Structure 1
Amino acid sequence: MLSELLAAWISRQRWFGGKGRPIDELSIDSDVELTPGLRHLIVAVWQEGSRDRYQVLLGERDSLPDRLSHALIGTVGDHYLYDAVHDSDRMSWLLEGMARDETRVSGALRMRHVPGVTIDTSQRSLVLGAEQSNTSLVYGDAYICKLFRRLIPGVNPELEVVTALAARHAPHIAQPYGWIEADLDGTGTTLAIMQEYLATANDGWDLALTSVRDLYASMPEISAAEAGGDFAAESLRLGVATARVHHELAQAFPTETVEIHEIKRMAETFRRRLGRAVAEVPELRQHVEAVEDAYHQVELLTNAVPVQRVHGDYHLGQVMRTPTDWVVLDFEGEPGQPLAERRALYSPLRDVAGMLRSFDYAARHLLAGRSGAADLEPRAEEWADRNREAFLEGYRSGGGVITRADAALLRAFELSKAVYEVVYEARNRPTWVSIPLAAFRPRPV
């Protein structure tokens, strides 16, 4: 009965990864009672011969208050079963369990805190509603706890990175406080991470869009440097912060060098992706020669390339501006990629390229599908170029290295990402294809 209720409910959740496909079978792999009226479930969902596992916090009440009616899963007998993440009374177990370093059912579920921290267990929880793949709970103005709904065996890269950087007292990260783990397929697996909640911080993407709006609303003769919401000073500070994060990552984790034959292999991979993209999006064809030339410049490199742990999914939505500086969030890497790939070593220029692409998106996001967009295109280009240059200046002044050879590699990373974006937009948001297509014009580094 419970499995049937869960199968009907889970398919409607925003974080469920198998939408649009029938569920062949749902089974409960783990069922741990945390407190009376609260159970921790790991459920296995089979679809078209493949299995995914999800984390569910199952609440049980004799009567369900109106504030929890939206979280109802179903009823069994006289009992209401519901998604307990929405129940602040039940979710106090997160703080209490981590504060005590509690273990349940012979080690099946382990709640841990970072050595030396103190957790205030009086804070009340509230679910953030914007996430697609996870669920985040904010506790007062002190903590944010991210529950990973779809579970992948292994230590989550974000937990690994932020705890290592916090141990070094690194700036530009949100302080970790605790985590929850269990064994999945015999491997210690991260179920949740709790960090400092940056209650007074502003999202980098929102700040950038405010700057772009100010520019578009100003008189045509006003330059991006003169507009009231000029963002370049913040872009420079963000570049400095990015370089410092890369330095701390290189100190906290092993580093290597990639020989030139591997770099050439990477360029060939980029070239194959370009070919597939052109076949799907013919508008790319006119840019093939320029992109091929950028990839060829990488093949001409003669020195090995240093690689290290990086952010892996770096853009303006992954950074927050506090009253004092920039903070970098979400060191998970690209969630859709295998865990080993997300933990692999890359050139830090991959992150730099991601942020440069984000500046282009911020500049042109408001023009997508808008009448009169062509008239504003020069202003978008001016804003993007100004902030890209400021970011790169900050990155260099913060200790980041971009040599002449690095510039060729950076351009290749950026164009490869733009090729991916063109295909993504063509499939999902056709009116946005013009945003990544703008990346293929010549640009200084």
Structure 2
Amino acid sequence: MSSISGGDRVRERGFDVDQTNHSVVVGESVVVKWLTPPAPLPQPTPDVFAHLTSVGFTATATPYASVSRRAGDGTELLLALVTAYLPDAADGWEWCVDEAVSGRTAFAADLGVLSADLHAAMATPSATFPDPVRQAPAAPAGEHPWSVRARQALDEALAVTDGEDGDWLAARADALRAELAPLTSVGTTPLIRIHGDLHVGQMLRWRDGYAVIDFDGNPTVTGADPFQPAARDLAQLTTSLEHVGQVAIKRRGADPAATREWAAAARAALESAYRERLAGLGRATLLDRSLVRPFEIEQECRELIYAARHLPRWRYAPMGVLRSWYR
């Protein structure tokens, strides 16, 4: 595919990875991400870009523009986002699988620092987000909303997972519910605008380091409050390392026992670096460690739901993770 720019033909190419939207590199200088279908405004990404730029967070593809149009009914639709092209970039479903196969974990500390820097930036006031940190509201009479959300995810995962996997999951339903217990009595946890879909696939390794991308939120959760505990992002990122291990086992023939050890070491290094960086930035209180495990359980349930609804072949990854946790 090509386009015309200043009389010269500028090469364009699409990314080769699976993604909901369609991204095109133009002239090896910018990436145009076309939303398919266009999304009604407001959408989180333009505001997040404006905020991160204003507070000096640069570990992302530099945002240049957003493109929108007004529909016939007066609705404003976001058509595309334009960001800088990062040379030699590969997402985590490529480079991180290589790390798992090789047994290397040094990268994990870098991801922990990057994630902490992102959360600290999200917690810094700007003209776009003048009040970026809130306290979790007191639980209403009855079950806390986070507990309801997690329990519903578990119930749906049990309902949509069939066969031998479904039998295995059902036999451990009580243990999984017990892991969600901390969500029933949440304290005064700080809430910030989190990434919402923070997994290794959003972590690009490029010529000059790492960059986090795609601030569209979690596509599997509708109507979620943009203000969430930082622990939710951290839990999704740590579970994605476990998924990388499962991909390495299934697709690359990695040794299961060695890969489990790799995943445990990578997770520990990532969280340690994350917590140390937050403390160094004076933001240690952003992480409520007690929420990480229940959010991890909820995330694995959502992975099973996603597999059942959209990508059945993916079920091996969350099931492999859960089987390794409850061996």
What range describes the TM-score normalised by the shorter chain of this pair? Answer: 0.7 to 0.9
CA distance in 1, matches of 2:152, 2:284: 26
Could you tell me which of 409, 412, 418 is aligned with 2:300? 418
5+ residue gaps, structure 1: 1-85, 97-120, 215-223, 225-229
| C-alpha distance after superposition, 1:23-67 (max 9, x if no partner) | xxxxxxxxxxxxxxxxxxxxxxxxxxxxxxxxxxxxxxxxxxxxx
Alignment equivalent of 1:145, drawn from 26, 32, 42: 32
**Match of residue 10 from structure 2:** 124
The answer to which structure has the higher strand fraction is 1
Question: Deviation at 1:149?
Answer: 2.8
Q: Confirm or deny that 1:239 pairs with 2:117.
A: no
Q: Which residue of 1 aligns with 2:158?
A: 278
Task: Please state how far the C-alpha of 1:306 moved relative to its aligned partner.
Answer: 1.3
The Cα of 1:265 is off from its aligned counterpart by 2.6
Cα distance in 1 for residues equivalent to 2:37 and 2:46? 16
Equivalent residues in 2 for 1:49-88 (5 A)?
A: 86-88=1-3
CA deviation vs aligned residue, 1:259-279 (integer Å, no higher than 9, x gap): 241682321332233223223
Deviations 1:166-188 (A, max 9, x none): 12221211111122222234344
Decide which of 389, 392, 397 is 2:268's aligned counterpart.
389
Per the TM alignment, residue 432 of structure 1 is displaced from its structure 2 partner at its CA by 4.8
CA contact (8 A) 1:162 1:173 kept: no
Q: List aligned pairs for 1:24-423, cutoff 5 A.
A: 86-89=1-4, 92=5, 124-130=10-16, 132-184=19-71, 185-214=73-102, 224=103, 230=104, 232-251=105-124, 252=126, 253=129, 254-261=132-139, 264-281=144-161, 282=166, 283-301=168-186, 303-335=187-219, 338=222, 341=224, 344-368=226-250, 376-399=255-278, 406-423=288-305
How far apart are residue 202 of structure 1 and its match? 3.2
User: Which residue identity does 1:334 align to in structure 2?
Assistant: N
8 A Cα contact 1:368 1:432, kept in partner = no
Q: For residue 294 of structure 1, what is the amino acid of its counterpart?
A: E
Greater helix share, 1 or 2? 2
Alpha-carbon distance in 2 for matches of 1:142, 1:429: 33
**Helix, strand or coil: the match of 1:399?**
helix
Q: Which amino acid aligns with 1:208?
A: C
Q: CA RMSD in A?
A: 2.9
Name the SS for the 2:135 alignment partner.
strand
Displacement of 1:148 after TM fit? 1.6
| Per-residue deviation, 1:361 | 0.8
Q: TM-score, normalised by structure 2?
A: 0.83
How far apart are 1:392 and its partner, in Å? 0.2
Q: Is the 8 A contact 2:194 2:228 kept in 1?
A: yes
Given the superposition, is the C-alpha separation of residues 160 and 431 from structure 1 closer, same or farther in structure 2, using an over 3 Å criterion?
Answer: closer
Whose RCO is larger (CA < 8 A, sep 6+)? 2
The answer to whether the 8 A contact 1:88-1:125 is kept is yes
- Could you tell me the percent identity over the aligned residues? 27
Contact 2:22 2:34 (C-alpha < 8 Å) held by counterparts: yes
> How many aligned residue pairs are there?
308
Unaligned runs of 5+ in 2: none
Q: Would you say the 8 A contact 1:200–1:323 is kept in 2? A: yes
Against the structure 1 CA distance between its residues 426 and 133, is the aligned structure 2 distance closer, same or farther, given a 3 Å change threshold?
closer
Structure 1 residue identity aligned to 2:61 = A
Where 1:332 maps in the other structure, the secondary structure is coil
Shift of 1:123: 7.9
